[in-house]
Amino acid sequence: MEQVGCVNARDDICSTKQYIEHINQKSLCGITNWRLPDYQEFYDVLDFGETEKDASGVVYGMNFKFFPQQTLGSPYLEYGSVWFQAFTFTENDKVKTPEYLRMPLVTVRGADRGQSSSIEIYSDKKDPTADDSYQFPIR
């Protein structure tokens, strides 16, 4: 983390921006313009023919040879999911609410890998007594 510069914030957390800058600086695979994939690009990385399973017997969603660190990422999601910040389902006036954004979600592991759904990301306008939620990580 020190090599990437994450210790500067003194919280031992690397932002996605820091990782991308570090990888681009190293010119990984000769490429200097790495970025996160968008929704469709990520979906194209899913390997529906993958047979490798984790210790719990859940099949990985991406080729394990190239993506060996496929974690769940959350205790709420049994098989691991990825959500995308590029667009939301609540941006039109008919359903827009200041309380949350509904972000697209792709299930990454298990028999349901590739399934698309959505997840609510609460804002500070949501009633504090409501259930917990994911939050946008900001620094």
pLDDT in tens, 116-130: 887 777 777 777 777
Q: Band of the pLDDT at 52, cuts 50, 70, 90?
A: very high
Structure tokens at 39: 């929704």
Each domain of the chain, given as residue ranges in start order, spans 1-35, 36-130
Structure tokens at 122: 């609460």
Q: Which of 124, 88, 117 is nearest to 103 (CA)?
A: 88
Confidence (pTM): 0.64
Helix ranges (DSSP H) in 1-139: 16-26, 39-45
Q: Band of the pLDDT at 50, cuts 50, 70, 90?
A: very high
pLDDT in tens, 58-107: 899 999 999 888 877 666 666 777 777 665 555 666 667 777 777 788 88
Structure tokens at 66: 């190239």
Structure tokens at 101: 């954004």
Q: Would you state the pLDDT for residue 75?
A: 64
